[in-house]
Amino acid sequence: MRILAIETSCDETSIALLESKNSHLKILSNIVSSQVKIHQKWGGVVPTLAKREHQKNLVPVLIKALEEARMLRKSKVTIKNSKLKETLVREEHLYKKLKKFLEQYQKPKIDLIAVTIGPALEPALWVGVNFAKALSYFWQKPILPVNHIEGHILANFIQNPISDLQFPAICLVVSGGHTGLILMKDIGGYKEIGETRDDAAGECLDKTARILGLGYPGGPIVAKMATKFKNQKSKIKIKLPRPMIYQKNYDFSFSGLKTAVLYKVRSMKPRETKKKEFIREMCREVQRAIIDVLIYKTLRAAKEFRAKSVILGGGVAANEELRRQFKARIRKELPKTYYLIPKTYFCTDNAAMIAVTSYFHQKEATKNWQKIKVNANLKI
């Protein structure tokens, strides 16, 4: 079976093709077109710009994905189809590009179209969903709506066999839009046991980078600055809070941490806050504070629920220091627990994770493409 997956939930336009043979999964292509440069000057993702960029990028990304999967075949037809236009009535620019594409290329040999429907930025999600609906209608292929959070969890099975996974599992999804702990009883059987009450961990890193004037996205820049901090004798000795770390629930809160960074910066002379040593130490401390809380709460949940597996996912799981510390702590405190984290490349948003997720839910695919809707606040 072959799946075409589409992901446009935030600032990456991504399309992947997956092939399954006797439950062996192979990613044939996974094209990710980042809009970072567009949003950089605003210091964060601007939903209307994301929508515009997805409209521009989807067809070129689809062509690249099909090409890399060796599934792009030329054709020549003329389309006079008002229904196709109707599905993309709000994305006129995309409609024109898609019509041209469908006139030039044959229907690829796919069995299913998967698309992210939430949770994320509504205007961005709609572009991908309407694009998937137009393709589902025109190619007469079933469509499957996918939860982005589940995608981050199941990204682990792009390369690892699912048969190795033992339940119950504790999943930590930590990204720019979401931070939560999920108890997983089987595929599709999830219970969110804790989530962030305000900012997500990635959002805190992005905002910290903004306060320090480091650019966007903050996570990778903060990580880079943190590794450069070497001067242990530094006079600053910044100490930030570890919000909610010892509270008996599994919720998180990271907005106070960002505010603590802001207050520290405001309490100093502007000239001092521009110094490399200060920036590096602040980055190291904010990253440490986030990692401390994430590890403490995840391990506590794993122990309480007697988890046989601990699974990580989401953009912040790409953080090298977090990966190093998690591995060491699990090895020490839960040596019998099966521990999984996706390859760095599959932590941040990509369509391969959506393709894999849809593979596990293929029975839920529908030909009723008209009914597919976005849900910006979708729960797992």
Residue ranges binding ligand KG4 (CB under 6 A): 10, 175-177, 202-203, 205-206, 217-220, 223, 314-316, 318-319, 348-349
Q: Which is nearer to ligand KG4, 319 or 337 (CB)?
A: 319
Q: Which is nearer to ligand KG4, 194 or 220 (CB)?
A: 220
Q: Which is nearer to Zn ion, 14 or 87 (CB)?
A: 14
Q: Which is nearer to Zn ion, 108 or 176 (CB)?
A: 176
Residues 244 and 168: their CA atoms lie apart, in Å, by: 25
As a dihedral over the C-alpha atoms of residue 182, residue 185, residue 187, residue 189, rounded to 10 degrees, the angle is: -70
Q: Which is nearer to ligand KG4, 194 or 218 (CB)?
A: 218
Q: What angle (nearest 5°) sits at the alpha carbon of residue 32, between those of residues 26 and 38?
A: 175
- Give me 304's structure tokens: 């309480």
Q: How far is the CB of 369 from Zn ion (least distance, A)?
A: 24
Specify which residues 311 forms β-bridges with.
Answer: 171, 340
Residues 186 and 356: their CA atoms lie apart, in Å, by: 15
Is 349 a binder of Zn ion (CB under 5 A)?
yes
Transcribe 143-186 into DSSP letters: EEEEEHHHHHHHGGGTTS-GGG--SSEEEEEE-SS-EEEEEEEE
Q: How far is the CB of 122 from ligand KG4 (least distance, A)?
A: 14
Selection from Zn ion, ligand KG4, none that 313 binds (CB < 5 to 8 A by kind) is none
From 8, 13, 35, 175, residue interacting with Zn ion (rule: CB under 5 A): 175
- Give me 5's structure tokens: 């997956």
Selection from ligand KG4, Zn ion, none that 15 binds (CB < 5 to 8 A by kind) is none
Q: How far is the CB of 120 from Zn ion (least distance, A)?
A: 7
Q: Please give the residue ranges that form the binding site for Zn ion (CB under 5 A).
A: 175, 349
